[in-house]
Amino acid sequence: MAKDYSVLKAKLAEPALSGLSAADQRAALNTKDVPVKRPIPVSKIKAYLQMVGKRLAIIDSPSVAARNAEVSFQDFETFDMTDAAYVSRLNAILDDLITEGLINGTDKAYVLSFGNDLVSWADQNWQGDVSLADIENANNYV
């Protein structure tokens, strides 16, 4: 797939970038500062709970919350944090585990943070990092 220099040219014309040097434009376009949501692998949640010594307590607990969490951990490979239904379900599971005293708010925040990531404009709109040659090509694009 060929690079679309019209997209880059339009981005470079934006006020925040238009007055910068090519090197500064390149740095801005490649800086990972755009927040995005990512799927959370259930294996990562289970590994975290094991590392903080809470996984076995959940497995051994007779509570409905713990059994429900375990069934969800078996049934799902990931929680898609871009899908409201998955976000709601994971929050409910974690809130129920907090209510049962099996995890705390810090654990919940840490687990939910697995779904947060930062990407650059280039990650979202370009093929790899934007180079100085790409900027020159975009500026010469008609």
| Sign of the dihedral through C-alpha 140, 20, 24, 1 | negative
Give mean pLDDT, residues 81-88: 97
Residue 52 has pLDDT above 80, yes or no: yes
**Residue 80 phi, psi dihedral angles, 5° rounding:** -80, 105
Confidence of residue 1 (pLDDT cuts 50, 70, 90): low
Confidence of residue 119 (pLDDT cuts 50, 70, 90): very high
**In the chain, pLDDT over 90 holds for what percent of residues?**
97
The beta strands (E) that lie in the chain are given as 34-37, 40-41, 78-79, 116-119
Residue matched to tokens 């990092």: 129
Residue 80 has pLDDT above 90, yes or no: yes
pTM of the model: 0.81
Q: Where are the domains of the chain?
A: 36-118
Confidence of residue 37 (pLDDT cuts 50, 70, 90): very high
